[in-house]
Amino acid sequence: MRVDAALTRRMLLALAPIPLLPNLPAVASRPVSDARFSLLLPDGFAISKRTATAGTIFVAGDFPRAAVVSVAAWPISELLEEEARLKTLPGLPAVVPPSVPAVLTSFADVQSVLGGSTDGLTRALLRRRDRDQSAGALASALISAELAAERLSWSTTTELSVANPDELEKQRGIRALIRRTRCVSVLGSVPVAGGGRAPAIVSCFASALESDMAALGPALEAAVQSFSLAVPAAA
């Protein structure tokens, strides 16, 4: 069970009564270090225990507010296979995914086989993110993407399903739920069966409802900007 997606959907879609919380500014000042990465976590965020070595490997959040900071590690071979499946049309031979380059040291190497450009690569990552978070039920919109110094910074918005807009307006004064997400992606690696490591794209996501971004946005942005791998990508 994905704690960030499951709790968010249960809380938002069921529209159970939500107590109004003080609109206090969050501060990203809690250092989090693990053998794979480090970042500054906003004050008050609870960490959910994770043991996975690929996929979603870290989740922390202010869950009553549906604000989450997470880290995902996606093997590049899996991303290539998933994109190939999406391009396969019914009744036609399956699209064969390209092989992962023997030498992969930069995002330019990744773009050559996945996406072809910064925009194409980011959209491939966004499709994977949506599949992880909602099994494809939600489609996020890419707002921006910038690649600099081997860090891919991007942002998205996602309109969440609302069962009863009238009830939502009574509770929170809004009729739509929009989730805003900031992300940074870097090249890294994940362990593979039998030993060794495989190249992967490791991403840090920070998201909250648009209505909470005035209070939470600066700390979430600081968390994303502080993210770094604890080991070199080639390790």
* Mean pLDDT of all residues belonging to the chain: 83
Of 22-36, 74-88, 113-127, the range with the lowest mean pLDDT is 22-36
Q: What percent of the chain has pLDDT over 90?
A: 50
Query: Residue 47: pLDDT above 70?
Result: yes
Render pLDDT for 98-107 as a digit per residue (tens, 0 to 9): 888 777 889 9
Query: Residue 7: pLDDT above 90?
Result: no
> Is residue 169 very low, low, confident or very high in pLDDT (cuts 50, 70, 90)?
low
In a domain, 47, yes or no: yes
Q: How many domains does the chain have?
A: 1
In a domain, 154, yes or no: yes
Per-residue confidence (pLDDT) for residue 235, from 0 to 100 = 41
Token pair 């925009």 is found at: 119
Range of the domain at 90: 3-13+26-229
Render pLDDT for 176-209 as a digit per residue (tens, 0 to 9): 788 999 999 999 999 988 888 999 999 999 999 9
Per-residue confidence (pLDDT) for residue 149, from 0 to 100 = 93
In a domain, 19, yes or no: no
In a domain, 201, yes or no: yes
In a domain, 18, yes or no: no
In a domain, 234, yes or no: no
Looking only at the bridges linking them, the beta strands covering 28-33 and 197-209 are unpaired
In a domain, 127, yes or no: yes
The enclosing domain of 168 has a CATH number of: 3.40.1000.10
Candidates 79, 60, 63; CA nearest to 206 is 60
User: Token digits for 152?
Assistant: 């891919």
Of 39-53, 64-78, 159-173, the range with the lowest mean pLDDT is 159-173
Per-residue confidence (pLDDT) for residue 115, from 0 to 100 = 80
Render pLDDT for 112-127 as a digit per residue (tens, 0 to 9): 888 889 999 999 999 9
> Is residue 17 very low, low, confident or very high in pLDDT (cuts 50, 70, 90)?
very low
Candidates 45, 42, 39, 40; CA nearest to 63 is 45
In a domain, 21, yes or no: no
Per-residue confidence (pLDDT) for residue 211, from 0 to 100 = 87
pTM for the full model? Answer: 0.82
Per-residue confidence (pLDDT) for residue 24, from 0 to 100 = 54
